[in-house]
């Protein structure tokens, strides 16, 4: 083995022990059965847990989680693209400062940030008070514990994960490319549609994967900002592991979610390859 290959060994060991092995354990558990009275586990390699997932309640929950993930990804892309473009067109010093501002929320605990959103969005909170003082609303804003609050919370939490990869893609665009397009007669919209957007696609794709996959398992934000009235797939998995103690069923749901996301990724990748060929 070449010496430089040996440099991979620590990472591979870590990856195997703390990523691959747990995944394999989850997969094995998904074929087991837990007696919820005695909490004795049996591994009889049956598919009952996967059959239970076909119950409409869990299927609807999966669709709901995918819908939330999709809408979050689209929202983050719509907001993140202009933000990333703006940052990429600044000089180095401003770029560094603006990127720090994008990353700063991650310096605080995720849960703390979401609870801060509760205070910000509640009736009588600062946003509500400001909106009424500015006569933007006649009554209360009534945002907290509604789907609007979930959307705001998701956007707030996941936007940096979209901005950064798009920024990396756009930052590589040399200003002369944009100048050339303008010189050839492209107006602002044509410049965006024919030059900037195509060059931003790799960043958008990376951001979509990062945001989409993370958001699919999200349940803390709907639980806190949505008032706990909506069941997400993450809730179900957490409930099975932490509340019911049915590890095999929780594992089966987790494996199913993993398979669905992997399938979507493969389909997306296949589509990209087809477009590249044509």
Partner 1 sequence: MADRNAPAVVLDWNARLSRRRLLACGLQLGGGLSMAAILAACSTSSNNGGQQSGAGGSPSVPTGTITMNNYPGWIGKTEISDFESQFSSASVKTKSEPTESIASDVLFFKQNPGDYDMGLEDQSAVGQMIASEVLQPIDFSNIPNIKYVDDTFRKSYSHGLPTDYGKVGVGYRKDIVTEGITSWQDIWNLAPTYSGQITFLNLDRDCMGSALKYLGYSGNSTTESELEACKNALTEIKPHLQALTNTNVAGGLVKGTVAIAMDWDFDMVAAQQKEPNIEWVIPSEGAVAYLEGWIAVKGTDNLPLVEAFMNFHADPKNYAGFVNNTGTAYVESAATPYVDEAISKNPILFPDQDVLARVEYEDYLGEATALWSKIWDEFKSA
- Using CB under 8 A as the binding rule, whether residue 142 contacts partner 1 is answered as yes
| Residue written as token pair 């060994």 | 9
Q: Least separation, in Å, of the C-beta of 202 and partner 1? A: 33
Name the DSSP class of 241: I
Alpha-carbon distance 106 to 113, whole Å?
Answer: 9
Using rule CB under 8 A, residue 218 touches partner 1: no
Instruction: Return the number of the residue (87 or 121) whose C-beta is nearest partner 1.
Output: 121
Please report how close the Cβ of residue 238 comes to partner 1 at its closest, in angstroms. Answer: 4
The H or E element containing residue 34 is: strand 33-34
Close Cβ partners of 170 (under 8 Å, ≥ 6 residues apart): 84, 85, 88, 196, 199, 200, 203
Minimum Å gap between C-beta 129 and partner 1 is 13
Distance (Å, whole) CA 25 – CA 238 = 17
22 in contact with partner 1 (CB under 8 A) = no
DSSP code, position 104: G
- Residue 122 binds to partner 1 (criterion: CB under 8 A): yes
Closer CB to partner 1, residue 119 or residue 271?
Answer: 119
Q: Which stretch binds partner 1 (CB under 8 A): 23-31, 81-89, 196-204, 234-242?
A: 234-242
Q: Does 48 bind partner 1 (CB under 8 A)?
A: no
Assess 36 for contact with partner 1 (CB under 8 A): yes
Report, in Å, the least distance between residue 239 CB and partner 1.
Answer: 7
Number of other residues whose CB lies within 10 A of the CB of residue 184: 10
Residues contacting residue 158 through CB under 8 Å, at least 6 positions apart: 72, 76, 211, 214, 215
Identify the residue among 168, 173, 238, 260 touching partner 1 (CB under 8 A). 238
- Residue 39 burial by CB count (10 A; 0-12/13-18/19+): exposed, middle or buried? exposed
| Residue 145 lies near partner 1 (rule: CB under 8 A) | yes
Q: How many angstroms separate the CA atoms of 100 and 252, rounded?
A: 40
Candidate residues 42, 51, 60, 172; the one interacting with partner 1 per rule CB under 8 A: 60
Eight-state DSSP code of residue 140: -
Stretch of 42-50, 79-87, 176-184, 228-236 contacting partner 1, by CB under 8 A: 228-236
Which residue in 71, 116, 181, 239 binds partner 1 (CB under 8 A)? 239
Residues that bind partner 1 (CB under 8 A): 36-39, 57, 60-61, 64, 109, 111, 122-124, 142, 145, 219-220, 223-224, 227-231, 234-236, 238-240, 242-246
């Amino acid at each position: 083995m070449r010496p430089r290959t040996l440099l991979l060994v620590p990472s591979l060991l870590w990856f195997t022990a703390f990523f691959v092995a747990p995944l394999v354990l989850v997969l094995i558990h998904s074929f087991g059965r837990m007696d919820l009275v005695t909490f004795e586990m049996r591994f009889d390699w049956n598919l009952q847990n996967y059959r239970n997932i076909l119950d409409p309640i869990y299927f609807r929950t999966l669709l709901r989680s995918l819908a939330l993930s999709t809408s979050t990804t689209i929202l983050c892309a719509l907001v993140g693209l202009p933000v990333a473009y703006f940052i990429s067109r600044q000089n180095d010093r401003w770029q560094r400062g603006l990127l720090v501002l994008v990353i700063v929320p991650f310096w605080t605990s995720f849960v703390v940030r979401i609870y801060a959103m509760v205070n910000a969005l509640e009736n009588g909170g600062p946003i509500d008070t400001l909106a009424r003082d500015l006569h933007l609303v006649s009554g209360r804003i009534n945002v907290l514990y509604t789907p609007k609050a979930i959307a705001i919370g998701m956007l707030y939490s996941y936007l940096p994960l979209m901005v950064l990869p798009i920024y990396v893609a756009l930052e590589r665009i040399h200003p002369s490319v944009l100048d050339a397009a303008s010189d050839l007669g492209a107006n602002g919209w044509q410049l965006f549609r024919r030059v900037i957007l195509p060059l931003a696609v790799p960043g958008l794709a990376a951001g979509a994967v990062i945001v989409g996959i993370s958001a699919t398992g999200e349940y803390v934000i709907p639980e806190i900002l949505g008032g706990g009235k909506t069941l997400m797939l993450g809730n179900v998995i957490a409930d099975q592991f932490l509340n019911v103690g049915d590890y095999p069923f929780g594992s089966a749901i987790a494996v199913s979610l993993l398979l669905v996301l992997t399938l979507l990724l493969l389909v997306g990748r296949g589509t990209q390859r087809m477009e590249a060929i044509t």
